[in-house]
């Protein structure tokens, strides 16, 4: 059993990751203010002493603790670490992603140091964005200078300011005053904020101050405590959290995640670059994934290369167990080359033109983001040519080896039954949220685009269907969800339009004859015999015919989908790779 200390954005993230398992866990917060829907979690609220928490853990067989609390909750952090140490229970610290320490900001060790730095810069008008609990810590400043505090619009927050003696006419509220608006209205010389990470709005506050030429003081995030004999897994995102849980409590998830070939290639390239530039050969390297989080990947070394063994987890994959190598030489610019066992694009329509190594856009960007040196990186895969014959690569025009691919960097495995059950749980949570509409999407990319149309919907209203469009719509009908938006990208849309309600490549492929008939229906008779991927259509269809084609595809999709939601209102949106949405 797992116990999560939450109440933050990271707490929501932890709950979402754990809900994927279908197993019960406990989610603890000090108050009941956080609005969170738990598919499988048991909510605990109220403050407990350390002895009470320990008794609870022993009674309920807690075998893993996840600390997803605020980065400045130092007392709670110490209590959680002491608890884990006393019980000999492994601990995962789910922290935030923190931007680098930019030199134009004034970094402060603590609040006393902040007051000294603010006085040193002769700041007489300050806007404090550090929260109500820091009013007392900055009292020596605001007693002698003009200072505004932004707080939550709650009676308990106002009571705290009264108790501290802070002037009530210098309070402003999060709910009604954005940072940029306050800077214009109050004209402070500087702001002070905490190093609260990306999810804490740190970047937005700093950017607003920069845009107005206002100096920013930052109180640094305190380091997380440690304890003798206690190994703490530090993660800062959902993929790292899941992998840490899989490692420490293997039976919690019925199926385990793996790494994409892109992540493996990036880790090998980082290791090879490290050896080239420093002479060091670490057994693990940190890899920043496309979502900004960092994971640790094991690496090995050979004569002139670093290597990673591909782990697919429980996802069936012919590349599982293969070795992906990277050789690195100094260069005048950053360059990525394909070596032995890495395929070559021979058809148009991919991220790069024919003749380029089959290393997709996201893995290339991962290497560029993780490696700042001007180096020439050669990725190779021994036995890659042999393995590629068991993939779709030859049919797609990728010759000579495998592709280095991956969008998220992590492979999340699901059996069909488990995936559909996960969809059902998410749809139940979406309905329980009270949202007026449920928006179903194939994945994170399409969801991100469609969210711009529904900014007021809660996160729980957005559900991923993967390839199981028909199953998801049937579940919506069973749950009596009346308003559903289906977001779909072109590759799945052309399959759906042909009546394939499960769009997985094992069960359905792109039917060029049917696509040609839809193009004819849209008044656009063009030759598509040379395309290998549906998304190429966006480039070859004339601009003045795109809406007509999108309408035809959507109408065919609606013909098959509306039958599954007979009592509901279904809206289908077709989304391009650039985020253009057709309805």
Task: Determine the Cα–Cα distance for residues 323 and 325; give it in Å rounded to an integer.
Answer: 6
Residues of the chain with pLDDT under 70: 315-316, 348-349, 392, 395-396, 414-419, 421-422, 503-508
Please tell me whether residues 17 and 76 are part of one structural domain: yes
Residues in the chain: 583
8 neighbors 31 (Cβ within 8 angstroms):
no
Please tell me whether residues 121 and 35 are part of one structural domain: no
Bridge-based pairing of strands 294-298 and 300-302 is unpaired
CATH classification of the domain holding 156:
3.40.50.1380
CATH classification of the domain holding 262:
3.30.2110.10
Please tell me whether residues 169 and 38 are part of one structural domain: no
Which of these three, 387, 411, 435, is where a domain ends?
Answer: 411
**pLDDT (0 to 100) of residue 414:** 57
Which of these three, 385, 411, 437, is where a domain ends?
Answer: 411
Please tell me whether residues 476 and 577 are part of one structural domain: yes
264 neighbors 308 (Cβ within 8 angstroms):
yes
**pLDDT (0 to 100) of residue 335:** 93
Judge whether 528 lies within some domain. Answer: yes
301 neighbors 275 (Cβ within 8 angstroms):
yes
**pLDDT (0 to 100) of residue 126:** 94
> 499, 515, 518, 519: which is closest to 507 by C-alpha?
499
Please tell me whether residues 320 and 366 are part of one structural domain: yes
Please tell me whether residues 149 and 168 are part of one structural domain: yes
Judge whether 226 lies within some domain. Answer: no
Tokens at residue 39, please? 């598919």
339 backbone dihedrals φ, ψ, rounded to 5°: -110, -155
**pLDDT (0 to 100) of residue 79:** 92
**pLDDT (0 to 100) of residue 349:** 64
Judge whether 224 lies within some domain. Answer: no
- 62 by Cβ neighbours in 10 Å (0-12 / 13-18 / 19+) ranks as buried
User: For the sheet containing 569-575, what is the strand order?
Assistant: 462-464, 438-441, 483-489, 569-575, 581-582
Q: Which domain holds residue 320?
A: 258-411
Tokens at residue 372, please? 């700042």
Please tell me whether residues 123 and 68 are part of one structural domain: no
Element (H, E) at 581: strand 581-582
Q: Could you write out the DSSP letters of every residue in 148-207?
A: EEEE-S-HHHHHHHHHHT--GGGEEETTT--HHHHHHHH--SEEEEE---GGGTHHHHHH
What does the DSSP 8-state code read for residue 135? Answer: T
Tokens at residue 394, please? 């030859």
User: Alpha carbon of 305 to those of 270, 285, 301, 378, 381: distances in Å?
Assistant: 11, 15, 6, 9, 12
Judge whether 327 lies within some domain. Answer: yes
Please tell me whether residues 41 and 189 are part of one structural domain: no
Please tell me whether residues 382 and 399 are part of one structural domain: yes
Please tell me whether residues 118 and 237 are part of one structural domain: no
Judge whether 253 lies within some domain. Answer: no
Judge whether 264 lies within some domain. Answer: yes
Which of these three, 382, 411, 440, is where a domain ends?
Answer: 411
* Structural domains in the chain (count): 4
Judge whether 352 lies within some domain. Answer: yes
Please tell me whether residues 474 and 510 are part of one structural domain: yes
Q: Say which residues have a Cβ less than 8 Å from residue 6's Cβ, sequence separation at least 6.
A: 12, 14, 15, 27, 28, 29, 34, 36, 68, 69
Tokens at residue 294, please? 């960092």
502 backbone dihedrals φ, ψ, rounded to 5°: -115, 115
Judge whether 225 lies within some domain. Answer: no
Task: Determine the Cα–Cα distance for residues 106 and 118; give it in Å rounded to an integer.
Answer: 9
Please tell me whether residues 439 and 337 are part of one structural domain: no
């Amino acid at each position: 059993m797992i116990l999560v200390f939450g109440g933050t954005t990271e707490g929501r993230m932890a709950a979402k990751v754990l809900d994927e398992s279908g197993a019960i866990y406990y989610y603890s917060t000090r108050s009941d203010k956080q609005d969170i829907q738990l598919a499988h979690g048991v909510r605990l609220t109220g403050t407990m002493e350390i002895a009470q928490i320990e008794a609870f853990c022993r009674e309920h067989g807690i075998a893993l603790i996840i600390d997803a609390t605020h980065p400045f909750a130092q007392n709670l952090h110490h209590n959680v670490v002491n608890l884990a140490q006393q019980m000999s229970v492994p601990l995962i610290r789910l922290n935030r992603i923190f931007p680098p320490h930019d030199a134009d900001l004034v970094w402060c060790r603590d609040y006393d140091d902040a007051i000294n730095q603010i006085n040193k810069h002769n700041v007489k008008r300050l806007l404090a964005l550090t929260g109500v609990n820091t009013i007392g810590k900055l009292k020596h400043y605001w007693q002698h200078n003009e200072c505004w505090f932004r707080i939550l619009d709650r009676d308990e927050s106002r009571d705290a300011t009264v108790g501290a003696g802070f002037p009530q006419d210098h309070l402003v509220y999060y709910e009604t005053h954005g940072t940029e608006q306050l800077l214009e209205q109050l004209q402070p010389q500087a702001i002070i904020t905490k190093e609260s990470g990306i999810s804490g709005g740190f970047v937005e506050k700093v950017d607003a101050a920069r845009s107005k030429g206002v100096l920013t003081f930052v109180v640094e995030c305190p380091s997380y405590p440690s304890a003798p004999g206690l190994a703490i897994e530090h993660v800062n995102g959902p993929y790292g959290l899941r992998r840490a849980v899989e490692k420490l409590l293997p039976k919690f998830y019925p199926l385990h995640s793996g790494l994409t070939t892109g992540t493996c290639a990036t880790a090998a390239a980082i290791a090879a670059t490290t050896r080239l530039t420093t002479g060091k050969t670490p057994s693990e390297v940190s890899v920043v994934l496309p979502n900004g989080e960092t994971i640790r990947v094991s690496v090995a070394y050979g004569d002139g290369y670093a290597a990673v063994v591909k782990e697919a987890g429980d996802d069936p994959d012919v590349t599982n167990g293969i070795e992906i190598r990277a050789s690195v030489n100094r260069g005048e610019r950053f360059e990525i080359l394909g070596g032995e066992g890495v395929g070559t694009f021979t058809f148009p329509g991919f991220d790069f033109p024919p003749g380029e190594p089959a290393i997709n856009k996201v893995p290339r960007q991962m290497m560029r983001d993780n490696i700042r040196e001007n180096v020439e990186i050669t990725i190779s895969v021994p036995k890659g040519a042999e393995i590629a014959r068991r993939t779709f690569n030859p049919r797609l025009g990728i010759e000579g080896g495998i592709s280095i691919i991956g969008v998220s960097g992590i492979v999340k495995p699901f059996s069909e039954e488990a995936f559909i059950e996960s969809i059902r749980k998410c749809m139940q949570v979406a309905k329980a949220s009270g949202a007026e509409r449920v928006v179903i999407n194939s994945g994170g990319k399409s969801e991100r685009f469609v969210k711009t149309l529904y900014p007021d919907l809660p996160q729980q209203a957005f559900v991923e269907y993967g390839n199981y469009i028909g199953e998801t719509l049937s579940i919506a009908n069973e749950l009596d969800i009346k308003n559903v938006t289906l977001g779909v990208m072109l590759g799945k849309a052309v399959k759906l339009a042909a009546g394939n309600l499960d769009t997985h490549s094992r069960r359905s492929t792109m039917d060029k004859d049917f696509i040609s008939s839809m193009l004819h229906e849209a008044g656009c008779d063009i030759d598509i015999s040379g395309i290998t991927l549906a998304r190429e259509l966006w480039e070859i269809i004339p601009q003045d015919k795109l809406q007509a084609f999108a309408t035809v595809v959507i109408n065919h999709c609606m013909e098959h989908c509306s039958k599954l939601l007979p009592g509901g209102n279904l809206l289908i949106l077709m989304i391009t790779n650039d985020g253009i949405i057709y309805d």
